[in-house]
Copies of this chain bind each other. A is one copy, B any other.
Amino acid sequence: MCQAGGMRADARKNYDHLLEVARGVVAEHGADASLRDIARRAGVGLGTLYRHFPTREALLEALLRTSFDELTAHAADLERTGTPEEALLTWVRDCTRFTTTYHGVTEIMVAAIEAPDSALHASCVALRAAGARLLLRAQEAGVARPGMDGTDLFALIAALAWLGDQAALAPRAEHLFDVIAVPALGGRDVVRGTA
Size of A's binding interface in residues, CB under 8 A: 34
Give the CA-CA distance A115 to B166 in the complex, in Å.
12
Contact partner, A186, options B152, B166, B183, B186, Cβ 8 Å: B183
Q: How far is the CB of A124 from chain B (nearest CB, A)?
A: 10
Give the CA-CA distance A191 to B148 in the complex, in Å.
9
CB <8 Å contact, A110 and B155:
no
Interface residues of A in 161-183 (CB under 8 A from B): 162-163, 166-169, 172, 175-176, 179-180, 183
Question: Can you list 18 A-B pairs, Cβ within 8 angstroms, ordered by A?
Answer: A110-B166, A110-B168, A110-B169, A111-B168, A113-B168, A114-B167, A114-B168, A115-B168, A145-B189, A145-B192, A146-B191, A146-B192, A148-B179, A152-B176, A155-B176, A156-B180, A159-B159, A159-B180
